[in-house]
Amino acid sequence: MAPAYGGSVPMRRIMKPAAAMEVARYNLEDALSDHSASSELYPTLSRELSREMSRDSRVTDKYAFAFDIDGVLIRGGRPIPEAIEAMKVLNGKNPYGIKIPYIFVTNGGGKTEQERCVQLSKQLELEVSPGQFICGHTPMREMVAQYKTVLVVGGEGEKCRHVAESYGFKDIVTPGDIIKDNPHTTPFRSLTEQELENSKLRNYGKVKIEAILVFADSRDWAGDQQIILDLLTSKGGYLGTRSENFDEGPPLFFAHNDIIWSAQHDHTRLGMGALRLSLEAMYHGITGKKLEATSFGKPQIGTFEFATRLLQQWRKENSGIDAPPETVYFVGDTPESDIRGSNLFNEHSANEWYSILVRTGVYDEGTTPKFTPKATCDNVLQAVLHAIEREKNKDTLKWRDEVSSQQEALRSTHSVDWAAKGSMIST
């Protein structure tokens, strides 16, 4: 049976266009009707077929999407209108009836992935699972093994403490805890009743803080920076101490490095990357030294490697697809993080990462993005349709190539026959 399918082309590839897939499926079913005999004959084929039979064949295994959130799907907490439509297209509402797997990769954070997915499900009017979601601090959960006592900075109220608890960090300190212990830490800022109630009283002079984790945008730039600088210039992470050489403090980690992001305001707002710039300036001002710190999030390769693993797992669990997609379409609004990251990862990755920039967020129409996207679209819906068309064109081209190569093969076999026949006739 196999040669009929052009042997060299892996079976699954032939199955793409729905019609051809059905034909191939029937032929294979025929071929394999006597399952026991044929499964010995074609072990991989029958395994492939039973898996194909078991999975929803409308789900394409050839490409997938990774979506940024702020400025692409959501703006200032509200869904961007085309985003809801785009989700419907991905779930089969398109001319080809195909479903396309997708994940979400945001630098935002400040609440648990579970809580963020519940919120996103409401905003996008469809279920979003933590199994398809990464936020800026998600990869930081892997530092639980390294650090016991950590200072967690940013976000609303106690939310970041809950995120750290959900990751398994054993001993979590917040700026509020430190101010409660020593109100003179922030001369112009005292805790609200609620903050006092939430904060944990301890003698922090006796607590060794092993790492500083900035999980989300700071709600108190002055207080948070004062406390971070107190620790960076401390002796070994003990508050109230001062290092002579200023390099005995705990390491500093940021969930991302976005200097600006697109919120409800017409113009971009300052982000966590701006807090880092401010800290770098003050640290240098105080110590004369350059501040060393590590950022997660996009454009870091680590985040795209994490996204690749998550996408692989999601497609496997959700659609029974094992092999990596040929192409991942990354749709973002920030050239410095989304486009730069997916272009960089495209150079490293075995499969193609195709960056699409949309005009609904940070990117300002008429300006030249610092990092060049593969395509620029008005909004996420146009981006999804652009990718689907591109894949269809790729398919058509591939079919054309296959048909012409098969025609070529046929022509050459027949010309050999005719030639042989010709020579036979001549004698």
Contact positions vs ligand G3P (CB under 6 A): 68-71, 106-108, 217, 258, 261, 271, 334
Minimum CB separation of residue 334 from ligand G3P in Å reads 6
258 contact, one of Mg ion, ligand G3P, none, CB 5-8 Å limit per kind = ligand G3P
CA dihedral defined by 257, 260, 265, 267, rounded to 10 degrees? -170
Minimum CB separation of residue 260 from ligand G3P in Å reads 8
Closest CB to ligand G3P among residues 68, 113: 68
| DSSP letter for each residue of 225-288 | HHHHHHHHTSBTTBTT---SSS--SPPEEES---SEE--SSSS-EE-HHHHHHHHHHHHHHHHS
Closest CB to Mg ion among residues 61, 333: 333
Rounded distance, CA 338 to CA 300, Å? 10
113 contact, one of ligand G3P, Mg ion, none, CB 5-8 Å limit per kind = none
Query: In what helix (H) or strand (E) does residue 64 lie, and over which residues does it extend?
Result: strand 63-67
60 contact, one of Mg ion, ligand G3P, none, CB 5-8 Å limit per kind = none
Minimum CB separation of residue 76 from ligand G3P in Å reads 11
Minimum CB separation of residue 217 from ligand G3P in Å reads 5
Closest CB to ligand G3P among residues 60, 342: 342
271 contact, one of ligand G3P, Mg ion, none, CB 5-8 Å limit per kind = ligand G3P
107 contact, one of ligand G3P, Mg ion, none, CB 5-8 Å limit per kind = ligand G3P
What's the angle, vertex CA 388, arms to CA 355 and CA 350, rounded to 5?
Answer: 50
**Which of 29-50 are b and which e, b meaning 16 or more Cβ less than 10 Å from the residue's Cβ?**
eebbeeeeebbeebeebbebbe
Minimum CB separation of residue 106 from Mg ion in Å reads 7
Closest CB to Mg ion among residues 211, 384: 384
Residue of 337, 342, 335 lying closest to 358 (CA atoms) = 335
Closest CB to ligand G3P among residues 67, 169: 67
Closest CB to ligand G3P among residues 138, 334: 334
Closest CB to ligand G3P among residues 106, 382: 106
154 contact, one of Mg ion, ligand G3P, none, CB 5-8 Å limit per kind = none
Backbone angles phi, psi at 265, to 5 degrees: -65, 150
Backbone angles phi, psi at 216, to 5 degrees: -150, 170
Rounded distance, CA 427 to CA 424, Å? 6
Minimum CB separation of residue 329 from ligand G3P in Å reads 16
Minimum CB separation of residue 247 from Mg ion in Å reads 35
Q: And the tokens for 301?
A: 């390769």
Cβ atoms < 10 Å from Cβ of 410 = 10
Question: How many helices (H) and strands (E) would you count in the chain?
Answer: 14, 15
101 contact, one of ligand G3P, Mg ion, none, CB 5-8 Å limit per kind = none
Closest CB to ligand G3P among residues 273, 325: 273
Binding site for Mg ion (CB under 5 A): 68, 70-71, 333-334
Order of strands, edge to edge, in the sheet holding 102-105? 133-134, 102-105, 63-67, 327-332, 352-358, 375-377
Closest CB to ligand G3P among residues 154, 249: 154
Minimum CB separation of residue 35 from ligand G3P in Å reads 48
CB 129 within 8 A of CB 146: no
CB-based closest residue to Mg ion: 71
Backbone angles phi, psi at 165, to 5 degrees: -65, -40
Minimum CB separation of residue 124 from Mg ion in Å reads 15
State which amino acid sits at residue 34.
Answer: D
Q: And the tokens for 29?
A: 């079913």
Residue of 391, 375, 389, 293 lying closest to 342 (CA atoms) = 375
224 contact, one of Mg ion, ligand G3P, none, CB 5-8 Å limit per kind = none
Closest CB to ligand G3P among residues 14, 260: 260
Minimum CB separation of residue 311 from ligand G3P in Å reads 17
Backbone angles phi, psi at 58, to 5 degrees: -75, -10
106 contact, one of ligand G3P, Mg ion, none, CB 5-8 Å limit per kind = ligand G3P
108 contact, one of ligand G3P, Mg ion, none, CB 5-8 Å limit per kind = ligand G3P
